Structure 1
Amino acid sequence: MTGLARTPIDDVTLRLADTAAWLTTPLMPEDYLTLINPLWSSRELRGRVEAVHPETKDVASLVIRPGRSWSTHRAGQFIRVGVDIDGVRHWRTYSLSSAPERGDGRVTITVKSVPGGVVSTHLVHRTTPGTIVGLTRPEGGFVLPEPVPSRLLFVTAGSGITPVMAMLRSLARPGEMPDVIVLHSAPTREEVIFGPELRTLAGRFPHLLLHEQHTRSSGRLNLSQLPDLCPDWPERHVWACGPTGMLREAETYWREAGIADRLRMEHFRPAVTTSAAGGGGHVRFLVSGREADADGATPLLVVGENAGVLMPSGCRMGICYRCTGRLRSGRVRDLRTGREYGEEGELIQTCVSAADGNVEIEL
């Protein structure tokens, strides 16, 4: 037998654990500990909301203390958050807006309440300190490399500033801020998420230039303005996050300049052509036992999340192939192209596929 020899203390510990398990059967000792503190669970990662800070009239940052199995994130990554509403757990994906270097063991997500958004409205307007939420570990590749380039450009709009804010907070160390330009669009000055903090950072660091485009008074930010706003833009490493139209324009702009490798983008939703919608139908999620009626224009990823299914997801754009599920019956339609597809046992991309009739998925 190989390995380290057991000591008398090890034997006593094992016997105590066995006794505790016997006394608490059918539950485990951990089940009782999590009744005292839900964050102690090692089987299910949870977090406790400790504060809710309004950012604008429809945006709030939630300060969350994660449980013990949390792993440190990288600036720009996202997590999925599980929220119980009327007895159903809904999962949504949010970027982390806090820097990894934050020293109090807490993280923040910043959520924009959207019309008809069940989860976003609940988080922004109804969540109170003490609320327990489900969490997943940090994911995503929209991050700063090591070492950090000496010249950076961030192009953001609306809530696209949230992952970039985590990067700026991480970079904002005394005497160490690299040369950074932030081009950010929002309808008005008051609707700039993190507006006061962004302006304070720009005042503190001479190498941080902030340009705010207030679209209601000045129109949308056009990339033809780029040479004036950032004359050395071809030489900078770029992170862009915002609406699909803005990202498409950026992708074309950098590709035609022959420097597409300098551009990193984060998408919040797929580029869907609603004219390509399917007929809709009843969707059964076989593993979770959830069911829902779906129209032909809503991605199955969203249908599942609304039904309380913890759906695998990544970019949510049909690019990374992580938003997948195995089709057991029925047909689906690709919302980007209108193509109907799907055979029994085939992996489908739930983020860009809608039901075209009744569907069963192994999720």
Structure 2
Amino acid sequence: MTSVLPRRIGGRLLALAETLATPHQLDRYLELVDPMVTARDLRAEVTEVRRQTADTVSLTLRPTWQWAGFAAGQFVQLGVVVDGIRHTRCYSPASSQYRADGRIELTIKAQADGIVSQYLYRYAEPGMVVSLSQASGTFRLPAVRPERVLLVSGGSGITPVLSMLRTLADEDHDGEIVFLHYAYTRDDVPHRTELDRLAAAHRNVRVVYAYTEGDARPGELTGFFGHEHLRTVAPWYADAQTFLCGPPGLMRGVREVYRELGVDDRLHTEEFAPAPVAPVEAGGTITFSGSAVTADNDGTSLLEQAEAAGLSPEYGCRMGICFSCTAIKRTGCTRNLRTGETDADPDQPIQLCVSAPVGDVDIDI
């Protein structure tokens, strides 16, 4: 009872303060004094910036007091204001979930058309304050750690599986661990120093690099993932649990091999790439009933069509991962752009970024 009472009093005082601050939220006033002093908003200060390769930037973040931590493999939503507009994207921490100072590390690949990634790669510096979400996602190690673990990554997909490796190392996990990372060349491997250090410090950890365009040294591989690569690095794959994150080509190749070998139930995946688009025939009218706006259906996602109609629905990843753009479909039929499945039930929550209207649709935004 004594521990509950202070929280209740604190909550009431906060509610009173926010009432007095009307019409603005209390945090809008606090950020004028110090953007890291917040009542409710979760934010983070950039404390370190490293540009390890020609197209990646690694940020160390110090979250505000609301941060609840994360499990290795999960992701957060990071928000920045670019040209007066707030943009949010999903990134996985690369650090161990046990990091002693409570800070998190993100490694971000500067995508050619990425508003947020390009902005951070060019302009991120210590002292920058960004918005942050609590961690979420189901891509994570099981509570009972597997005796054998294969971690496979490519490009910027290294972050969640590197977090898993660092976490297992901090737990002094003594099971066999192989970390297989794919990159164009040797110079395109982020966190290489950390990976080599972990392999040298833990007898049960083996790190293997595979290059799709560069030459290999002894112990390294060339080419793309296939049966030969799998048997070379982890001949015990059938008795292991595999965790995979990377670009679409790598994801597809690993899934096909595991399916052919009949061990796809031992493969766990996470991907941060745009969803493959299943063709949707245009036609009909979209009614954005929450805004009294209508538009002709052009066959693209509801998020894209809402933005083309002048609306600004909330979104995060734009690829069906974070659920930030979920809205209620009142009537009509929609097709999932990733799976091709249709949904004609009324009053259903759908993800705008991976849903396209089939004929007339009423969406409450």
How does the TM-score come out when normalised to structure 2?
0.79
Q: How far off is 1:179 after superposition?
A: 1.4
Counterpart AA for 1:311: Y
Q: How far off is 1:163 after superposition?
A: 0.4
Moved more, 352-361 or 243-252: 352-361
Pick one of 32, 35, 50 that aligns with 1:35. Answer: 32
The correspondence of residues 151-230 of structure 1 with structure 2, limited to 5 A, is: 151-173=148-170, 176-217=173-214, 218-230=222-234
Distance 2:355 2:290 in 1: 19
The correspondence of residues 210-359 of structure 1 with structure 2, limited to 5 A, is: 210-217=207-214, 218-273=222-277, 276=279, 300=303, 309-311=313-315, 316=320, 324-327=326-329, 334-336=336-338, 345-354=347-356
CA displacement 1:252-275 (0-9 Å, x = unmatched): 33334333332111121354146x
Where does the alignment leave 5 or more consecutive residues of structure 2 unmatched?
215-221
Partner of 1:118: 115
Q: RMSD value over aligned CA atoms?
A: 4.2
Counterpart AA for 2:194: E
CA displacement 1:153-212 (0-9 Å, x = unmatched): 011111111101111121223854531111111000110121221122222222111111
Distance 2:326 2:84 in 1: 26
Count of equivalent residues: 353
Q: How far off is 1:75 after superposition?
A: 0.8
CA contact (8 A) 1:39 1:68 kept: no
Distance 1:64 1:18 in 2: 29
What secondary structure sits across from 1:246 in the alignment? helix
Counterpart AA for 2:48: A
How does the TM-score come out when normalised to structure 1?
0.79
Q: How far off is 1:71 after superposition?
A: 0.7
Distance 1:57 1:282 in 2: 45
What secondary structure sits across from 2:149 in the alignment? strand
* Change over 3 Å in CA distance of 1:113–1:287 after alignment to 2: farther
Where does the alignment leave 5 or more consecutive residues of structure 1 unmatched?
none
CA contact (8 A) 1:277 1:354 kept: yes
Moved more, 342-351 or 202-211: 342-351
Moved more, 38-47 or 342-351: 342-351
CA displacement 1:4-45 (0-9 Å, x = unmatched): 8xx9x99x9999989977976666766544433333323221
* Change over 3 Å in CA distance of 1:14–1:142 after alignment to 2: closer
Counterpart AA for 2:354: V
Moved more, 183-192 or 278-287: 278-287
Moved more, 244-253 or 338-347: 338-347
CA contact (8 A) 1:297 1:335 kept: no
Partner of 2:218: none
CA contact (8 A) 1:278 1:332 kept: no
Distance 2:84 2:295 in 1: 15
CA contact (8 A) 1:327 1:342 kept: no
What secondary structure sits across from 2:113 in the alignment? coil
Counterpart AA for 1:300: L
1:149 matched to 2:146 = yes
* Change over 3 Å in CA distance of 1:340–1:68 after alignment to 2: same
Moved more, 208-217 or 322-331: 322-331
CA contact (8 A) 2:98 2:170 kept: no
1:60 matched to 2:85 = no
Q: How far off is 1:240 after superposition?
A: 0.9
Aligned-residue identity in percent: 36
Counterpart AA for 2:314: L
The correspondence of residues 76-155 of structure 1 with structure 2, limited to 5 A, is: 76-155=73-152
Distance 2:48 2:296 in 1: 35
Distance 2:189 2:137 in 1: 24
Moved more, 150-159 or 41-50: 41-50
Moved more, 353-362 or 136-145: 353-362
* Change over 3 Å in CA distance of 1:229–1:81 after alignment to 2: same
* Change over 3 Å in CA distance of 1:278–1:352 after alignment to 2: farther
